Amino acid sequence: MNPLSRRSALGLIGSGVAASVVAPSIALAAKQGMRLSLAAYSFREHFAVMKGKARTAASPEMDMFKFLDFCAQHDCQGAELTSYFFPADADAKYFRKIRKHGEAKGVAISGTAVGNNFSLEPGAERDAQSAYVREWIDNAVMMGAPHVRIFAGKKKKETSEERADQLVIEALRDICKYAAKKKVKLGLENHDSIATAERLIRLLKAVDSEWLGVNLDSGNFRTADPYKDFELSAPHAVNVQIKTKLKIGDTSEAVDSDLPRFIALLKKADYRGWVALEFEEKDNPYEACPPVLKQLAGLL
């Protein structure tokens, strides 16, 4: 973004200075390729909050402001702020403060992520799940995040797969109407029961909303060829999460991900959006994430 640095550009936009000069540069940068982000879930053991409840965190302790600092220090253009690790009393003032902190560091809030379940029959439990997702769509707006990762969820034992799919489709159609009003994209992840590209795309097409796409997780397919499923899903992606490990078929043993191959498949699909490292291994993320981020930055 010469002659203006990325951080300078974001700062100018935040203050309204020289927007007519900077905005076209940012639009051009977005057209040129993918952008690197880091998921807060990578530091899950280091946050002192988990789904609104205080807990003992691994050392050194992390919070969202420190996480944005870490992203800036390691040249991430974005940060994916997983909903699980926000303090229970986070309010509009808090979310606006997060946004400003990111702008000051030159780090955009690339998205947030919730752990909802839409595979439930109509009733109070399902209504609570819909309210939960709407709340985080609102929070995404306050943080300036363009995307919320969502799940289909896990069905109950007495629910057939066909009925579960119907329930998910109905819930997604409803929540997409709210997302449209707020101008926030929703990304349905290949997670839980969605272990194949075929099922993922089938649900996506059944909902048929421009506000719903795929939150493409490189480590979550459970097929004989996860790379093929990744390739089939890539054209529908609105956000991508890259993992350093994956599993082949139903095996419990994880193998190293071929990161260059994954990025090549995204380029083949002409994907232009956020690529977030979501580090799930047991290694210390403070030490393990930087070299992976550097590798991904080079590939992108």
Query: What is the pLDDT, as a whole number, of residue 32?
Result: 55
Query: What is the pLDDT, as a whole number, of residue 7?
Result: 44
Query: What is the pLDDT, as a whole number, of residue 250?
Result: 82
282 CB-near residues (< 8 Å, 6+ apart):
none
Q: Are residues 22 and 63 in contact, defined by beta-carbon separation less than 8 angstroms? A: no
Query: What is the pLDDT, as a whole number, of residue 9?
Result: 43
Q: Are residues 219 and 243 in contact, defined by beta-carbon separation less than 8 angstroms? A: yes
Query: Which residues of the chain carry a pLDDT beneath 70?
Result: 1-32
Set out the domains of the chain in order of their start, with CATH numbers: 1-32 (no CATH), 34-299 (3.20.20.150)
Query: What is the pLDDT, as a whole number, of residue 18?
Result: 35
Query: What is the pLDDT, as a whole number, of residue 251?
Result: 80
Query: What is the pLDDT, as a whole number, of residue 31?
Result: 57
CB atoms within 10 A of CB 145: 27
Q: What b/e string do you get for 217-236 counting C-beta neighbours within 10 Å, with b at 16 or more?
A: bbbbbbbeebbebbbbbbeb
pLDDT in tens, 270-295: 999 999 999 999 999 999 999 999 99
Three-class SS of residue 74?
coil
DSSP class of 62: B
Q: What backbone phi and psi angles, to 5 degrees, belong to 114? A: -120, 165
In degrees, rounded to 5, the angle at the alpha carbon of residue 174 between the alpha carbons of residues 172 and 179 is 85
